[in-house]
Structure formats: structure tokens, C-alpha cells
A and B are shown apart, each in its own frame.
Chain A
Amino acid sequence: MSSISKSEKAYIQSSLLSDPPLRADGRGLTDFRTVALESGVAPLANGSARVSIGRNAYDGGGGTEVVAAAKLEVETVGDGEGVDGGRVVCSVSCSPTAYPLLSSNALDDLQHDMTSLLHATLSHPTIRPQNLCILPGKKSWLLNLDVIIFSDAGNIFDAIFMAARAALWDTKVPRTRSVQYRAKKSDRKDATQAMDVDEATHTGSALDTRETVQVSDFELPDYWDEGEPLDGRQTWPVCLTLNLLPTSHFLDATLQEEASVPLKLLVLYSFQSDTPPLLRSMRLLGTGVSDLVQVKSLLKDGEKYARIVWTALEGKLKDEDLRRNQKARERFLNR
């Protein structure tokens, strides 16, 4: 996003291409800056996370800062855009402080582009969680995933998807119980005395052969936790941005490095134990050109790096789960 002079571009490019490659902060080509992640940062959301890449360890400044939060809403199926089985809607908004040099129009365009990639990847029907359905054919959850960029110090796409994955991992879907109103047999004549009947208290007689399981509404049972995690939360992908130089590539670019490479390849992978790694999205961005042979080798390398990011993220998310549930409970008991 930052505009740098031609000579600075050439300087950065030639040092990246030199042997051994040199980067301003002393990292290797495939090294990441420190990534910090915290989940549950927004108490009113159903799931949230905050990711920062490359934050300065001394004063906590600098770095790419992204917050993602998921909010669930009940939606009637067939009414407007509601679909059976629920849906996921994503949005990215950029705080003007992250891009002080951009005009408001350019900022709108930028967040629209980010939104379209996030939405296209995460709301694809093949990745939709199974438990967004409340009443089949009637009500479902609409999952709104909102990502806010507070500052951008490079590698924004990786940060967005990391935050999105962590927020979705953290999301709890409230438990629901189907409810049906049915007149008691003895009260049939007095239809005004409808009763609230649950599955447990079945009052239909054995002679009543009509199978009319017509669930009409749902209620939220009062329970001690916030609900169940989203189904298939392991499947949410991680993003990896490969910045392409003529002969090599590097990861986790800073703003200056981003401005001095013409082309980058975004690959989004999800890894599951039982299936081979799946490519969830791939985009070539920039003004340069590539070729099939290069893309092939990049995909292979990308998979390797993405698996490392995936493993690290998975470990951190499990740690966060532990910190926020088990350890919090122990702390409460040992007060």
C-alpha cells in the first residue's frame, strides 16, 4: 500500500535476490514475524479473535492488527435470502487509521476486494457447518463474520484468515430445543387451552396413527455454557501469501517488500487428518506474469508452509480453549 521510490524498490529487490538473501529485519525468506493470537476478545460476540503479526515486543506498537468476530442471528428460511441449513456472510472493514494515505473511495474498494475473497472462500456451500440449522425448512442461523483491520504492516490476507479461523473456531452455537403446540386430547374441544409440549411429554394416544411431526418453533434452554462449537471447525482454511520474485519467493512481506514485488499468489489450504490437503482458494494478484510450471512448484511449496502455519495455529487454538475453559474453572475453584 505504501508508495516507495524506484531506487528503494530496486534496493529491496536486489537484496532479496542476493545470495544469501537479505531482508531489512534479518529474517530468512520463509520466516514469519511473531504472530500473537487471543480469542474471546469481544464478550458480546458468539466467537471472536484478535491477531497481530509482527508487533514490536518492547512497546506493543507496529505490526498488522486484525480483529474478527462472529455473530449469530436467527433467520427465517425462504424469507429474503435465508436458505435451508443456514449461511455464512463475511465482511471486512478497514479502519481509516490502517490506510491513512488512501481516499475514502479507494478504501471502500480495498475492503470490498478483501470482503469478496473472504466471503467467496468461507461461505462456499462445500464448507458450511452442519449445525447452523435450527428447524429444517423453517429457521436457521445466519453467521455474520466481521473482520476489522486496525493496522496493516504487510501480509494482511494471512492475518485476516488467521483471525477468521480463530473466531470461527471460538464460535459457540446456542443450543435450541424444538417446541410444538398441541391440544391435549381431552381438551380438543376447548382449543384455546393449547399446551406447550416438549418431545419428552408425548400425549398422543397409541391409536393416533397420523404421523404429524410438525415442529413449529424453538426455544433456548437455559444451560450453563454458551452452546456447542461449530461443526467441522477444523475445516476452516489458512491463507498463505507467496510473494513472487523472478527466481524465488518469500513469505510474510512487510509493506515495503509488498510494494516492491509485482506479483503474489494466495493459496488457502485446509488440512484434515482423514483426507488429503484441500485447496480452498487460490488467487494470483498483481501486475506480473507467471507460468504453469512455476504455479505447480509454488503450490507444492505453499502446501508445505501452510501446513506449518496450520499446525502452529491449531496448537495455539487448543491452548486458548484450555486457557478459557479448564484453567479459568480451576482458577475459580482455587480462589
Chain B
Amino acid sequence: MAQSAGDRRRINGPEESFSPVFDDDEEDIKLKTQRSRAAGDIRPIFLQPGLISQANGSAYIETDKTKIACAVYGPRQTKTTTYSEKGRLNVEVKFTPFSCMRRRAPIRDAEDRSLAVSIHQAIVSSIRLELFPKSTIDVFITIIENDGIEGCIASASVAASTALADAGIEMLGLVSACSAAIVGDDIHLDPSEAEARASSGTVILACMPALDNVTSVWQSGHMTADMALKCMERCHERCIDIHSIVAQSLLEHRTAA
């Protein structure tokens, strides 16, 4: 839980901090939101399972400027004494203080529950929790660098699913996720932070391509239902590509070990 006061035992940063303000003119803003890739392309993905040796399973994902590490511990005994017939999935997301434009003070606002909830939603239905009574699976996600919250949620879901597979936890399928933003009348897949800010609406879709299932849909902003469906279809196509990347990286990791 987030605490209201800072930790007295650590050297706290200044009370408030301000990100530097650059005097962007119109041209610069245009350049920033301009994509170097086509509207239907996503940022290149680097995915490496098994980076954290003490965890049961782990994965590191990098998509351009988004960098996320994920560790899975468990299934292990639930700390509370209450009996639960199904296993519990616990997702925690932390931002490093230097991950965003504005410093995120440790403890106070480095934990983001809404992100954790959306990642939980994306992966929970892929895990066979009925096989783990009385136990908990902990998924810890650290966002080292953040370039757009939509991309973060999508990449973190992919990393979490990879780490779960790396931990040898039984799943129904690998989860892959992709985000889309509507900029003007176009659909831009995997938007960066500047693009997402300039957009009128965003969609994040998580699915299990092997089973042709959708596990999570998060849409915000405004768009017509047809446009939302079009976004979801485009995301779904990319998710199939992402799925093969995940499968390949897991395979390479296994054969190398």
C-alpha cells in the first residue's frame, strides 16, 4: 500500500520536483508525434526470459524506450490462514523513480494499482489457478523506463506471461497484448507517450492467440464502436506476431540452458 509520508530511513529527494520545460515550438511537437514507422507497425521487441536467477521465472522486455523487468515467485503458500480453493494471482507494479519525465518518489507514488489491475486482468484467465489451492503466485513488475502507459501495460502483460511460462506454471496459452491509438482518423499501433497524448482514444487488447481468445480489453477516450472494433482487430493481428516472438524466445532460452 502506498504510504502518505516518505520513508525516514532513506534519503528522500526534494519535496517537489519539476521536469525541465523545453520551449517546443509547433514544429518540434509535430516531429515528436511523427512516427518513424508505419501506422500498423509496432516497436521492435527484445525479450529475454530468465534474467533474474533467484526468481522462479523472470523476463525482461524492451520495446524501444519502454524497459520492463518482471519476476515470478511461486506458486507458494498463501500467507493468510484462510483457505482458498483456487490459487491467487498477485500482481505488483513498481516504477523506478527515474522512469518518467517527472520523478516518482519511492514508496509514495511508485506503485501503481491501476496498472497492476489491468495486467492482472490480462493474464489471470490464462493461468490454471484451480491447480494451486491454498497458494499464491506473485508477479513483480518493475518499470525501468516508461514511454507511454498503454505500451507499458501491453509489454508488461507479455513479459508477465513469458515469466510465468519460464517459471513452469501451467497455463492455457501464452498471453500477448498490443495497444492502439486513434490519431486524427488513423489507427496507430503501439503508440508512444507523445502519440497517446495527441490521440482521441486508445485501446489495449490482450489475448491468447493460440486459443483465439480475448482476455482483456481496455478502451479509453472516445471513438465509435466500429473504430474500436477495427483497433481491436489490428491489435489482434499484431498479437499473433508477438506470440511467435514470445514462443521463440522461450524456446531459445530452454535450448541454451
Residues of A within 8 A of B (CB): 105, 108-109, 112-113, 116, 120-121, 124, 126-127, 265, 270, 276-292, 294-296, 299-300, 303
Say yes or no: B113 contacts A287, CB within 8 Å: no
Residues of A within 8 A of B233 (CB): 292
A279 and B214 in contact, given A108-B1, A116-B114 (Cβ under 8 angstroms)? no
A289 and B228 in contact, given A124-B221, A126-B200, A282-B217 (Cβ under 8 angstroms)? no
Say yes or no: B121 contacts A295, CB within 8 Å: no
Residues of B within 8 A of A121 (CB): 220
Instruction: Please give the distance in Å from B204's CB to the nearest CB on chain A.
Output: 10
A281 and B125 in contact, given A299-B229, A300-B225 (Cβ under 8 angstroms)? no
Say yes or no: B218 contacts A280, CB within 8 Å: no
Residues of B within 8 A of A126 (CB): 200-201, 221-222
Say whether B107 faces chain A, with CB atoms less than 8 Å apart. no
Apart from the given pairs A105-B1, A126-B221, A291-B213, 11 other A-B contacts in the complex at a CB distance below 8 Å: A113-B114, A120-B220, A124-B222, A126-B200, A279-B224, A280-B221, A287-B129, A290-B213, A290-B214, A292-B236, A294-B214
The complex places the Cα of A265 from the Cα of B203 at a distance, in Å, of: 14
Instruction: Please give the distance in Å from A15's CB to the nearest CB on chain B.
Output: 23
A279 and B113 in contact, given A126-B201, A288-B125 (Cβ under 8 angstroms)? no
Question: Which chain B residues (64-111) contact chain A, with CB distance < 8 Å?
Answer: none
Say whether B117 faces chain A, with CB atoms less than 8 Å apart. yes
Say yes or no: A113 contacts B117, CB within 8 Å: yes
Say yes or no: A299 contacts B220, CB within 8 Å: no
A289 and B213 in contact, given A108-B1, A113-B113, A116-B114 (Cβ under 8 angstroms)? yes
- A105, A109, A113, A276: which contacts B224 (Cβ < 8 A)? A276
Chain A: which residue is nearest B212 at the CB level?
A: A291
Chain A: which residue is nearest B197 at the CB level?
A: A125
Say yes or no: A279 contacts B219, CB within 8 Å: yes
The complex places the Cα of A291 from the Cα of B206 at a distance, in Å, of: 11
Chain B: which residue is nearest A275 at the CB level?
A: B224
Instruction: Please give the distance in Å from A9's CB to the nearest CB on chain B.
Output: 12
The complex places the Cα of A126 from the Cα of B183 at a distance, in Å, of: 13
Question: Which chain B residues (198-244) contact chain A, with CB distance < 8 Å?
Answer: 200-201, 203, 208, 211-225, 228-229, 232-233, 236
Chain A: which residue is nearest B201 at the CB level?
A: A126
Residues of B within 8 A of A (CB): 1, 113-114, 117, 121, 124-125, 129, 200-201, 203, 208, 211-225, 228-229, 232-233, 236
Instruction: Please give the distance in Å from B187's CB to the nearest CB on chain A.
Output: 14
Say yes or no: B222 contacts A279, CB within 8 Å: yes
The complex places the Cα of A280 from the Cα of B129 at a distance, in Å, of: 33
Instruction: Please give the distance in Å from A194's CB to the nearest CB on chain B.
Output: 33
The complex places the Cα of A80 from the Cα of B250 at a distance, in Å, of: 46
Residues of A within 8 A of B236 (CB): 292
Chain A to chain B contacts (Cβ below 8 Å), 20 pairs? A113-B113, A113-B114, A124-B222, A270-B222, A277-B224, A278-B223, A278-B224, A279-B224, A281-B220, A282-B217, A284-B216, A286-B121, A289-B208, A289-B213, A292-B229, A292-B232, A292-B233, A294-B214, A296-B229, A299-B229
Residues of A within 8 A of B200 (CB): 126
The complex places the Cα of A116 from the Cα of B213 at a distance, in Å, of: 26
The complex places the Cα of A325 from the Cα of B233 at a distance, in Å, of: 49
The complex places the Cα of A300 from the Cα of B221 at a distance, in Å, of: 19
Chain B: which residue is nearest A303 at the CB level?
A: B225
Chain B: which residue is nearest A263 at the CB level?
A: B125
Name which of A120, A127, A278 has the most chain B CB atoms within 10 A of its CB: A278
The complex places the Cα of A105 from the Cα of B2 at a distance, in Å, of: 11
Residues of B within 8 A of A287 (CB): 124-125, 129
Instruction: Please give the distance in Å from B151's CB to the nearest CB on chain A.
Output: 17
Residues of A within 8 A of B215 (CB): 284, 289
The complex places the Cα of A300 from the Cα of B114 at a distance, in Å, of: 27
Say yes or no: B125 contacts A299, CB within 8 Å: no
A299 and B228 in contact, given A116-B117, A120-B220, A278-B222 (Cβ under 8 angstroms)? yes
A284 and B229 in contact, given A277-B224, A289-B208, A295-B217 (Cβ under 8 angstroms)? no
- B113, B125, B203: which contacts A112 (Cβ < 8 A)? B113
Say yes or no: A279 contacts B225, CB within 8 Å: yes
Chain A: which residue is nearest B236 at the CB level?
A: A292
Residues of B within 8 A of A283 (CB): 217-219
The complex places the Cα of A278 from the Cα of B224 at a distance, in Å, of: 5
The complex places the Cα of A270 from the Cα of B218 at a distance, in Å, of: 17
The 5 nearest A-B residue pairs measured at CB:
A282-B219, A116-B114, A289-B213, A278-B222, A284-B217
Name which of A109, A112, A279 has the most chain B CB atoms within 10 A of its CB: A279
Instruction: Please give the distance in Å from B134's CB to the nearest CB on chain A.
Output: 16
The complex places the Cα of A275 from the Cα of B227 at a distance, in Å, of: 14
Say yes or no: A280 contacts B222, CB within 8 Å: yes
The complex places the Cα of A291 from the Cα of B113 at a distance, in Å, of: 26
Say yes or no: A279 contacts B228, CB within 8 Å: yes
